[in-house]
Amino acid sequence: MSVWSFTPKYLLSLTLAMSVSAFAVGQETDEERIEDTVIVTGTKLGLGQSDTATSVSLFDESRIIDDKIINIEDIFDRTANAFTGTTLFGAYSIRGVKNTNVIDGFNSTNALSSLVINGNALGLSATDYLKPSLFDAAQVEILRGPQSVAQGPNTLIGSIVINYNDPSFDGYEGRALAEVGNLGAYRLATMQNVEIIDDILAGRITLETRQADGDVTNTTTGQDNVQRTDEETVRAQFKLRPHASDRLQFDLTYLRNRSDSIPFANVISDPTQGISVFDRLQLSDVQEQYPSEFDFASLEAGWELNENWSLSAVIGYGDFSSDQRLDGDLSPFPLFELGTSVEEEIMSQEVRLNYISNGWTVMVGLFHSDGDYTNSFDLQGVLPDGMGGFIPFNQFQTNEQSVEQTALFAQADIQITDRLATTLGIRFNQETRSFESVTNQVGAVATFANDADFDQVLPSASLRYDVTDALSVGGLYSRGVQGGGFSAALLLGEVRPYDEEFIDNYELFFRYAAPDGRWSANGNVFYFDWQDQQVPFTPENGFAGLDEFIANAGSSSVSGLEVELDIRVTDTLEVFGALGISETEFDEFIIDGQDLSGDAFPGSPNWNAALGFSYNGANGVFASGTYTYVDETYSELGAQDFTAISDRNLLSGKFGYRRDHWSVYVFGENLLDEDYELGLFDRRQIGAAGPLGSVADPLTFGAGIDVNW
C-alpha cells in the first residue's frame, strides 16, 4: 500500500510547509551564516551543498572514520531513498529505481546510475560486482535525480561519487587498520604517504584485504563459505606540482582489485520440506565461482590560468573481467552446468574550462569515451533421450558491443540579485553503437550484427531564492536519459535496435544551515515522468526466454521526497536523521500480454528512514550507532507475492577508546539479527515449491585497532 497518493500539487504544498518551518527557525537570529566549505564535486561547478539544487547526501572523511563506514552499502543504509540489493537484482536503487534497470537483463552497456571514482565513471558490470572500500576516502556523495548535463547518459536516476584523499606534501603520514570478527571475517588495511620531492612530487599507496566466510552452506559439496568475501585492493596515487604551486598540478590514480568473492549466494526454499531461505542452504553439485579482476587508472590535470579562469582535464581507463561457474539446474544432480564471462574495457577523456567572477560560475566541457563490452555463456549438460537415457547438450552465445560517445556540455550558476540565483545547463550527446552476436543452438551456429546512432539534447535549469542568510528554497528541472541498444532473437537469428528512454524530472527543494553551525536540514520533493520506456517482448514465432526484442512502449511515473537532518547537540555529540519516500508506478507497461499498469517497480521500497548518533568525548571514549528501516518490496514482475522482500530493521554500532595516534573499538552489524532477503527468483516454472534467492548475513560483530602516524 502506498504511503500516499502523490500528485504534482503536493510538491508545492509539502515544500512550502517545510520551508515555512525552516524560515521560522531562521528568523530567530540575524547572525551571518557560516560559509559552506563542503563542495559537491559531482556537479563539477564547485558549489557548496547549500547552493546546490541537486538532492545530495554527503559524507566527509571524519564521518567515514568516526562511524566506521566501510563500503558503499554502509552509506546507503543512512541515506534517504537509497536501497541495497545484490548483483543479480541490481546492486542498489535510488528513488525506487534499480541501477541496472527496472527489468534486469537488457544489456551490460547501459546503467540508470553511475559510480564515479576520482572523476571517472565505472562500467555497469564493475559497478555491480565491486564494493568499493572507503578506507582513506576523503568524501562520498550520493546524488539523486538525473545528472545528465555534467555526467552524461547512465545517470538517469543519480550517481555515486567517491573521492579518495590526495597525496599530501605535509610529510610521511600513514595509517594502519586491523579488524577481526565472527563468520571468519577480518580486514587489514594500510596507507602510507610519501613526499618524494619537496613541494613538487608526493605519493600515497593503500593496501587492503578483506575476508569473510558468510553464513551459507552447501549440503552437497560441504562448502561452508559460499557467501564469502575474498578480495585484495591496491591503490597508488601521485601528485605532481611542477612549479611547487597548486596553480598547475597533475594527479594520477591507479587501482587494482582482485576478488574471489561470491557477490550473491543463491539459497533454496521448499515449504513442503519446511526449508526457508533463511536456513541459508544450497543443494547444488557445482561449487559456485565468481572470480573477477579490475584495473582502473585516472590522470587528472588542473591549471589555474588566472584568478578567473581555470582549465582541467581527466583521462580514465577501466578494465573489468569476471569468469563464472554455477549450477544450471540448482540441484544435487549433474544435469546442467553454466559458465559465463563478462568483460568491459572503457577509455574516456574530458576537458573542462571554468570561469568564476562577479556572481558568475561557468563551466564548458568536451567529453569522449570508447567502450567495448563482451558477454558470453556456455551451458553444458544432458537431456532425456525419450528412451530412459540421456544425450549430451551444449549451447553457447557470445555478444560483443561497442559504444562510442561524444558530448559538448555547459553549465552556468548566475547570481541574478543578492538573493536570487539560477543554474542553467545543457548537454549535446552523440552515441554510436555496434552489436554482434554468435550463438550455437543445438549445433546450429549463427552470427548476426547491427549498428545504430543516437543523438540526445539534455537540458537542466534551477532557480534558488535565499529567504534569509540561513534558508534557501527553489525549484529544479532536469532531463535524464538511458541510452538505446540492441535486442536479439537468438532462434529467429535477428538483432534489432531500440531507442533511448527519457525522464523529465521536476523538483522543489529547501536548504537550511543554522547561523551558529549547530544544525542543518536539506529536503527535495520530486516528480518525474518516464517516457519511451524500454519494454521486452517475445516476437511472433519466437521462443520465450531466447527470442526477446525490446520496444519503446512503456511509461511510468515516480514521486516522493527526501529530508536529511544533522544536529550538533554538543561539542561531543552529533545526531542525524533521514527520511525517504518514493512511489513508483507503471502507467503503461505490457509484457507478453501481461498488463502491469498500476504496479510498483521491483526493488522499490516505498520508504526508508535512518536515525543515528556520533559521540566523541574529551576523555577519548567514542561511540556511534545507526538504526535503519527499509520498507518491503519484491523482486520479479508478475510474481510480486512469490518474490516478496521483507522489510528491514537494521541496527549497527561502534564503541571504543581513542588517543592521539591510535584507537581500539568493538563493532556490530545487524545487531537485531534481522532476517531479510536481498533478492528472490520465481522458480515455479520448473516445478519448485519455493523461491530461490540471496539473503543478508545475520548478526556480525568484531573488534579493531586503528593506528595513524
Specify the pLDDT at position 218: 92
Specify the pLDDT at position 483: 85
* Separation between Cα atoms, residue 102 and residue 96, nearest integer Å: 9
Say which residue, 5 or 154, is predicted with more confidence. 154
Counts for the chain of helices (H) and strands (E), in that order: 5, 40
In this prediction, residue 26 has a pLDDT band, given cuts at 50, 70 and 90, of very low
* Separation between Cα atoms, residue 126 and residue 665, nearest integer Å: 32
Say which residue, 535 or 316, is predicted with more confidence. 316
- By mean pLDDT, which of 190-194, 200-204, 441-445 is the weakest? 441-445
* Residue that the C-alpha cell 505490457 belongs to: 590
* Residue that the C-alpha cell 556572481 belongs to: 359
Query: What digits encode the pLDDT tens for the residues 81-125?
Result: 998 877 666 778 899 998 887 776 555 677 888 899 999 999 888
In this prediction, residue 490 has a pLDDT band, given cuts at 50, 70 and 90, of low
Q: Is the pLDDT of residue 489 over 70?
A: yes
Centre a 10 Å sphere on the Cβ of residue 53 and count the other Cβ atoms it contains.
28
First vs last C-alpha separation in the chain: 53
In this prediction, residue 134 has a pLDDT band, given cuts at 50, 70 and 90, of very high
Strands (E), 416-500: 420-441, 444-466, 471-482, 485-489, 494-498
High-pLDDT (> 70) share of the chain, %: 91
In this prediction, residue 190 has a pLDDT band, given cuts at 50, 70 and 90, of very high
In this prediction, residue 290 has a pLDDT band, given cuts at 50, 70 and 90, of confident
Q: Measuring CA to CA, how many Å separate 176 from each of 70, 173, 205, 207, 367?
A: 14, 11, 12, 9, 38
In this prediction, residue 379 has a pLDDT band, given cuts at 50, 70 and 90, of confident
In this prediction, residue 546 has a pLDDT band, given cuts at 50, 70 and 90, of low
Centre a 10 Å sphere on the Cβ of residue 222 and count the other Cβ atoms it contains.
8
Query: What digits encode the pLDDT tens for the residues 56-85?
Result: 999 999 889 888 888 888 898 899 999 887
Sign of the CA dihedral with 360 first, then 468, 52, and 474 last: negative
Three-state DSSP at 25 gives helix
Specify the pLDDT at position 6: 39
- By mean pLDDT, which of 183-192, 216-225, 680-689 is the weakest? 680-689
Specify the pLDDT at position 494: 78
Q: Check: CB of residue 679 under 8 Å from CB of residue 86.
A: yes
In this prediction, residue 536 has a pLDDT band, given cuts at 50, 70 and 90, of confident
In this prediction, residue 443 has a pLDDT band, given cuts at 50, 70 and 90, of low
Say which residue, 367 or 102, is predicted with more confidence. 367
Q: State the average pLDDT over residues 643-656.
A: 94
* Separation between Cα atoms, residue 223 and residue 281, nearest integer Å: 10
Specify the pLDDT at position 5: 40
Q: State the average pLDDT over residues 388-396.
A: 74
Q: State the average pLDDT over residues 519-535.
A: 94
Specify the pLDDT at position 154: 84
Q: Is the pLDDT of residue 361 over 90?
A: yes
* Separation between Cα atoms, residue 401 and residue 483, nearest integer Å: 13
Nearest alpha-carbon partner for 253 in 372, 331, 165:
165
Say which residue, 617 or 30, is predicted with more confidence. 617
* Residue that the C-alpha cell 512503456 belongs to: 554
Say which residue, 613 or 485, is predicted with more confidence. 613
High-pLDDT (> 90) share of the chain, %: 60
Q: Is the pLDDT of residue 497 over 80?
A: yes
Say which residue, 498 or 252, is predicted with more confidence. 252
Say which residue, 235 or 171, is predicted with more confidence. 235
* Residue that the C-alpha cell 552437497 belongs to: 220
Segments making up each domain of the chain, as ranges: 8-708
In this prediction, residue 306 has a pLDDT band, given cuts at 50, 70 and 90, of very high
In this prediction, residue 129 has a pLDDT band, given cuts at 50, 70 and 90, of confident
* Separation between Cα atoms, residue 486 and residue 434, nearest integer Å: 9
Q: Check: CB of residue 180 under 8 Å from CB of residue 703.
A: yes
Q: Check: CB of residue 380 under 8 Å from CB of residue 336.
A: yes
Q: Measuring CA to CA, how many Å separate 289 from each of 209, 263, 341?
A: 19, 10, 11
Pairing of strands 420-441, 390-415: antiparallel
Specify the pLDDT at position 326: 82
Determine phi and psi for 538, rounding to 5 degrees: -95, 120
DSSP string of 542-608, one letter each residue:
--TTTB-EEEEEEEEEEEEEEEEEEEE-SSSEEEEEEEEEEEEEEEE-EETTEE-TTPPPTT--SEE
pTM value is: 0.90
Does domain 8-708 correspond to CATH entry 2.40.170.20?
A: yes
Q: Check: CB of residue 452 under 8 Å from CB of residue 497.
A: yes
Give me the chain's average pLDDT, please.
Answer: 88
Nearest alpha-carbon partner for 476 in 419, 530, 423:
423
Q: Is the pLDDT of residue 507 over 80?
A: yes
Say which residue, 41 or 124, is predicted with more confidence. 41
In this prediction, residue 583 has a pLDDT band, given cuts at 50, 70 and 90, of very high
Radius of gyration of the chain (CA): 26
Q: Is the pLDDT of residue 17 over 60?
A: no
Specify the pLDDT at position 327: 84
Q: State the average pLDDT over residues 223-244.
A: 94
* Residue that the C-alpha cell 537540458 belongs to: 459
* Separation between Cα atoms, residue 570 and residue 516, nearest integer Å: 12
Q: Check: CB of residue 430 under 8 Å from CB of residue 470.
A: no
Q: What are 271-278's contacts with CB under 8 Å, separation 24+?
A: 271/689, 271/690, 272/689, 275/690, 277/677, 277/680, 277/690, 277/691, 277/692, 277/693, 277/695, 278/675, 278/695
Specify the pLDDT at position 87: 67
Q: Is the pLDDT of residue 21 over 60?
A: no
Q: Is the pLDDT of residue 525 over 80?
A: yes
